[in-house]
Amino acid sequence: MKRGGYGKKKLTLLVCLSIGLVANESNLFEEIKHYSYIATVSKENALFQPFIESVYKGKELEKLGVSNLQEALAFVPGVDIYSDNLDMQTAIFRGSNPLAYGQSKLFIDGILVNDVMVDQYSHYLAMPIELIKRIEVVRGPGSKIEGMNSYVGSIYVTTYHENFGEEECAKAFVKYGSYRYSGIGMYKNILLGPWKFYTELYLQKDDKAIFAGPDILATGVYGQKNMQLAKSGDIPLWIKNYSFALYGSWKDLKLRLRHNYFKRGHAFGLSYILPHKEDYIRLPSTLLELRYKKSLHTSLQLYVKSGMKRDSFTSLSHVAPSGFIYPNPFNPKDFITFSHGIFGFYQAKQQTLYANVGAAYTLAKHRIDIGVYKYREKTYTLKTVTTDRSGRSKEIIDYSATYPFIKPDASRRATIVYASDTYSVNDDMSIYYGINYETFSKYDCFNPRVSAVYRVNDKNVIKLMYSRSHRNPSWQELFTINNTTRVGNPNLKPERVSAYELSYTNKFMFDQFFQISLFYLKNRNIINNINSKHIFLNHSKNSLYGLEFEWKKMLSNTLEFYGSYSYVYGKWSCGRAMPNIANNLLKLYFVKQWSYDLSSSVSYRYIGAKRRFFFDRREKLKPFHIMNVAFSYKPKKDIEFMIAFKNITGSLAKYPAPPLTYRNDYPYTKGREILLSIKKGF
C-alpha cells in the first residue's frame, strides 16, 4: 500500500507538471531541462533533445506479438537487421558497412554490452520483451551517454528496475512457440530498509533449423576436387539462453551485476561449410558495475563509475567434411587429404576494465558536462584445438601455443576525454556542442558534435546537427591469425564518419508525432575482407544519403497507428553504388483496443532489394515482406494471454551471403510461425 501511494503521488506530480507546461509557455532551454527531469522521473520520450531518437515502450511492443529485442529493433526507421555465417545478428543503421560489426552500440541500463572479439551484441538480442520497459534508439553518431560515442547509432534498453514504488513491481511469464521454442522469466523489485534490489531471470531455448545450400564447396573456391563434397541441408540455428541480473542501490551508490549465457547452433559454418547439428558457438557475457553520484549543490553533480566486462567466443565445429583436400600448412606446395575431415575447438576470452569520472554543472543558460573515461581490453584465455594439421592422423591436437587463431597477447588501452555544453541562445533556440577525444593504440581521434534545436512553437521543432565519430577495429579484424577465411591486420585504422542531419518534428500530443529527417554521411577507412586473400583492409571511402519519415497517431480513441518509411542510397568514392543496402524500408503497425480486456494488432515490414558487389554475378537479393497478427486478452488486471501469428504470408526472407560462399544466401524464415505467452504481474 505504501508503494502504491507513492506511485500515485508521483503520477499526480507528473500530470500537474504536464498541464503546467501546456498552460504556460516557457523558453526552449527550460523545456529541455523540464523534459530531462520528466525523463528522469517518468522515463518518457522528449522530442526536444539534440539528437534524432525513436522510443518504443515494452508493453506496446508486447501487443504486437514482439518476442525479443531483435524483433523490436526491426521497427526502427532506417534500421535493417543483418546476420553472418555464424548467425550473429546486428542492427545496420542507414546502410553503413553491413559487413562489419560495431557500427552501433547496445546499452542495457546504461552499461555497454558489445563484446571485444567481434564488437557485436547478438547474444543480447534474444532478451525477452517482457523484461524491457523501454527501448530508445538514437540514429546518427554520438550518444546519450557522455564519452560513449557510437559510429552511426546507439540503442538504450531500460528494464523494469525503474518500477520501484509503482503498482507493478514484479512480473512472471511463460512462452511457447514454433521450432519447439519455450521460455520462462521473471523480474522483481525488492525494498529492504534503505536498500533497493532488482532481480531478473530468464531461460529460453528452441530447436530451429532451416534448409540452405549448397555451401561454399560448390563454388570451387577450395578447388575442383572438393566440389563433390558440397552439401545442402538443415542449418542448425537452435539456441540455449539464460540470463540473471541483480541490482542493488543504497542512497547514491548503485551496484549492477548481469550474466548472460548464450549458445547457438553453428549456423552456416565457421568456414562457410555446412556444419553438423551439434556444432555450436557460445557467447557468454558477465557485466559488473559500481556507480556513485553525488549532488554537491543544486547546480553541480559529480559521478564516478567503474566496472568489469568479461565476454568470450567459443566455437566447436566440424570445419570440413571427410575427404577434404587442403594445402599443407607446413609446406604450401603439398596437398593433404583429411580422410576424417577437420574438427576444431576455438576459444578466446577477453576482459575489459573501465573507469569514468565526470561532472555536470548548470549555470544560468548553460549545462556543462565534462569527464574522463579510461578502459583496457585484453585476452586472458586462448585455446586452439584441431585435427592434426599434418593430416597424418585423425588425432586432435592442442595448437594453442603453436598455431593460435588470434594473437595470444592482444591488448588495448584507451583514454577518452569529453566535454559538452547545452547553451540557451534565447527562449526558442538551444545549441549543444561538445567533443570526444580518444587516444588508443597508434591513433588519436577527435570527434566534435554540434546540434541546434529551434522551437517554432510548442508543437513544432527543427533540429540541425553535425557530428563526427569513429569505430575502432575489433579483435577479429586486428588479431586473427592462422585462418584462411579471415586474416587480421594490426595496421588497420579506425573507420571514420562525418554526419549532417536535419529533422523536423510536429508533436500532436505527448506520445503522438510526425517526424521527417534528412541525413548525409561521409565514411572513410571502411573495413572489410572482401578480397582474394581475405585480409581485413581499410578499403575506401563512401557516402550515404537519405531520409526517414516517422508518424505515430491515435486514429480514434481505440485505434493506434505507427508508420515509418526510410530511403537510403550509398556509393563508393569510385562512383559505384554500394552493395547489400536495402534502399527502401517500410514499417507499419495498427493496435486496436476492442474492449478493456481485448486488443489486437497487425504489423507489416517491407525490406527492399539489395544490390550485389559489382564482381558478384548473382542477381540482386529480392525484396521481401513480413506480416504479423497478434491478439491479447486480459481477464484480470494483472494477467494477460497473448497469441501471435508471424509471417502469415509465408514469405522467404534472406540475409545476403558474401560472394563465393552460399550461392542462395542465408535464409532466416522457414514459413509461418506461432507464439503463445502468459504473463502475470504482481
Band the pLDDT of 96: cuts 50, 70, 90: confident
- Give pLDDT, residue 529: 86
- Give pLDDT, residue 46: 55
Q: pLDDT digit string (tens) for 349-362?
A: 999 999 999 999 99
For the cut 80, the answer to whether the pLDDT of residue 26 exceeds it is: no
Q: What are the DSSP calls for 656-670, one per residue?
A: PPPTTS-TT-EE---
- Give pLDDT, residue 520: 97
Q: Which amino acid is at 586?
A: L
For the cut 60, the answer to whether the pLDDT of residue 31 exceeds it is: no
Band the pLDDT of 451: cuts 50, 70, 90: very high
Q: pLDDT digit string (tens) for 619-672?
A: 999 999 999 999 999 998 889 999 999 999 999 999 999 999 999 999 998 889
Cis amide prior to 194 (ω within 30 degrees): no
Band the pLDDT of 3: cuts 50, 70, 90: very low
Band the pLDDT of 16: cuts 50, 70, 90: very low
Q: pLDDT digit string (tens) for 515-535?
A: 999 999 999 999 988 888 889
For the cut 50, the answer to whether the pLDDT of residue 299 exceeds it is: yes
Q: Give dist(CA 402, CA 399) in Å, integer.
A: 5
Structural domains in the chain, CATH included, are 43-262+408-681 (2.40.170.20)
Q: Which amino acid is at 255?
A: L
C-alpha distances out from residue 331 to 42, 326, 389, Å: 66, 11, 11
- Give pLDDT, residue 25: 39
Q: pLDDT digit string (tens) for 151-164?
A: 999 999 999 998 87
- Give pLDDT, residue 167: 62
Average pLDDT over residues 305-311: 97
- Give pLDDT, residue 21: 33
Q: pLDDT digit string (tens) for 390-419?
A: 878 889 999 999 999 999 989 999 999 999
- Give pLDDT, residue 574: 87
C-alpha distances out from residue 591 to 16, 47, 63, 235, 475, Å: 28, 23, 7, 35, 43
Q: Give dist(CA 329, CA 239) in Å, integer.
A: 34
Q: What is the mean pLDDT of the chain?
A: 89
Which 8-state DSSP code applies to residue 578? Answer: P
Query: What is the β-pairing status of strands 460-471 and 443-457?
Result: antiparallel
Q: Which amino acid is at 678?
A: I
For the cut 50, the answer to whether the pLDDT of residue 368 exceeds it is: yes
- Give pLDDT, residue 246: 97
- Give pLDDT, residue 170: 92
Q: Give dist(CA 123, CA 116) in Å, integer.
A: 13
For the cut 80, the answer to whether the pLDDT of residue 330 exceeds it is: no
Q: pLDDT digit string (tens) for 491-505?
A: 999 999 999 999 999
C-alpha distances out from residue 459 to 8, 39, 123, 556, 594, Å: 28, 18, 40, 20, 30
For the cut 80, the answer to whether the pLDDT of residue 599 exceeds it is: yes
Band the pLDDT of 97: cuts 50, 70, 90: confident
For the cut 90, the answer to whether the pLDDT of residue 4 exceeds it is: no
Query: Is the pLDDT higher at 95 or at 23?
Result: 95
Q: pLDDT digit string (tens) for 457-470?
A: 888 999 999 999 99
Q: Give dist(CA 60, CA 203) in Å, integer.
A: 23
Band the pLDDT of 87: cuts 50, 70, 90: very high
Dihedral of the alpha carbons of 658, 661, 662, 665, in degrees to the nearest 10: 0
Q: pLDDT digit string (tens) for 541-568?
A: 999 999 999 999 999 999 999 999 999 9
- Give pLDDT, residue 23: 36
For the cut 90, the answer to whether the pLDDT of residue 273 exceeds it is: yes
Which 8-state DSSP code applies to residue 153? Answer: E
- Work out the angle at residue 553's Cα, subtended by the Cα atoms of residues 549 and 559, and round it to the nearest 5 degrees: 130
Closest Cα to residue 538, out of 549, 526, 550?
Answer: 526
